[in-house]
């Protein structure tokens, strides 16, 4: 395995972990970085499978809370209602992800100009919502109405377009539907667990026969890097957005999208 490829996998893994849970589009970032680095993965599997590192990161950070929920689930109606809400939010993306899988992987993932445009548009929307979203009604993610969980899940479907951001679309949906900034981000964490686990399992199912030992090696490097970086982000994000909001991420998206468009124009 060439050292450059290992270095690229490490870089992309760190990028995945740093951006997965903030509303800037981790997939958009690693697809653009991979495009300019000339990084090629079998079936674009690397970009999806290294998300396992981010999944395990959030599971480790929320391990105590998840364990308590598992213990309480058989006897606590509130816990069962919240789990049902997460599953309702997950359902739309699960259905659309399966039906549109081929288009997403073979067309949208291969269109860097679209990714840059979505980064910019998403940044503008995030700046607007961060400033003008209605006064929060919900501060506890376990108290959202069931219909609200499902509607946030519909917002998540927008992230099928690379550059939109899974966390960004769910956070914007939560803010527009009355969640405060911290609750919107925290629910995006919980919704990430089934969504990313489902994407990982389905992509592995579709591509495992194509993967070689070399592919597994670079995926493992990316996975470990993503895990470490994601732990850092998950531990600090809720406190940050509670104090500062999402404006920084909106401006970052716009900057990356514009730089990407210029680079595509100059470099191809």
Three-state SS for the chain is CCHHHHHHHHHHHHHHHHHCCCCCCHHHHHHHHHHHHCCCCHHHHHHHHCHHHHHHHHHHHCHHHHHHHHHHCCCCHHHHHHHHHHHHHHHHHHHHHHHCHHHHHHCHHHCHHHHHHHHHHHHHHHHHHHHHCCCCCECCHHHCCHHHHHHHHHHHHHHHCCCCCHHHHHHHHHHHCCECHHHHHHHHHHHHHHHHHHHHHHHHHHHHHHCCHHHHHHHHHHHHHHHHHHHHHHHHHHHHHHHHCCHHHHHHHHHHHHHHHHHHHHHC
Which band of pLDDT confidence, cut at 50, 70 and 90, is reported for residue 184? very high
Which band of pLDDT confidence, cut at 50, 70 and 90, is reported for residue 215? confident
Domain map (residue ranges) of the chain: 3-267
Minimum mean pLDDT among 165-169, 204-208, 238-242: which range?
A: 204-208
Average pLDDT over residues 151-157: 97
Look at residue 97 and tell me whether its pLDDT is greater than 80.
yes
The predicted pLDDT at position 49 comes to: 87
The predicted pLDDT at position 4 comes to: 53
Average pLDDT over residues 247-264: 96
The predicted pLDDT at position 94 comes to: 94
% pLDDT > 90, the chain? 72
pTM: 0.90
State phi, psi for 179 to the nearest 5 degrees. Answer: -80, 150
pLDDT one-digit tens code per residue, 114-133: 999 999 999 999 999 998 87
The predicted pLDDT at position 109 comes to: 84
CA distances from 58 to 99, 140, 208, 265 (A): 27, 19, 25, 37
Q: Considering the chain, what is the average pLDDT of its residues?
A: 92
Q: Is the dihedral of CA 66, 228, 161, 215 positive or negative?
A: negative
The predicted pLDDT at position 44 comes to: 76
pLDDT one-digit tens code per residue, 188-214: 999 999 999 998 898 888 888 888 888
């Amino acid at each position: 395995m060439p050292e450059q490829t290992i270095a690229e996998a490490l870089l992309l893994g760190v990028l995945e972990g740093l951006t997965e849970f903030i509303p800037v589009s981790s997939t958009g970032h690693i697809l653009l970085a991979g495009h300019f680095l000339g990084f090629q993965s079998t079936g674009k599997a690397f970009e999806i499978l290294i998300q396992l590192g981010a999944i395990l990161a959030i599971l480790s950070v929320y391990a105590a809370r998840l364990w308590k929920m598992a213990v309480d689930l058989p006897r606590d109606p509130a816990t069962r209602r919240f789990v049902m809400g997460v599953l309702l939010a997950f359902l739309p993306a699960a259905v659309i992800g399966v039906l549109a899988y081929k288009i997403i992987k073979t067309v949208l993932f291969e269109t860097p100009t679209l990714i840059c445009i979505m980064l910019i548009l998403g940044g503008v929307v995030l700046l607007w919502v961060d400033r003008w979203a209605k006064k929060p009604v919900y501060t506890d993610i376990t108290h959202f109405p069931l219909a609200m969980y499902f509607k946030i899940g519909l917002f998540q479907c927008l992230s099928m377009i690379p550059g939109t951001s899974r966390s960004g679309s769910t956070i914007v949906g939560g803010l527009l539907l009355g969640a405060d900034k911290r609750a919107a981000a925290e629910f995006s964490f919980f919704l990430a667990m089934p969504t990313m686990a489902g994407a990982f399992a389905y992509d592995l199912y579709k591509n495992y026969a194509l993967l070689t030992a070399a592919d597994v090696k670079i995926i493992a490097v990316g996975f470990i890097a993503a895990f470490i970086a994601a732990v850092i982000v998950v531990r600090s994000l809720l406190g940050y957005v509670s104090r500062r909001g999402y404006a920084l991420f909106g401006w970052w998206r716009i900057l990356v999208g514009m730089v990407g468009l210029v680079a595509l124009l100059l470099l191809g």
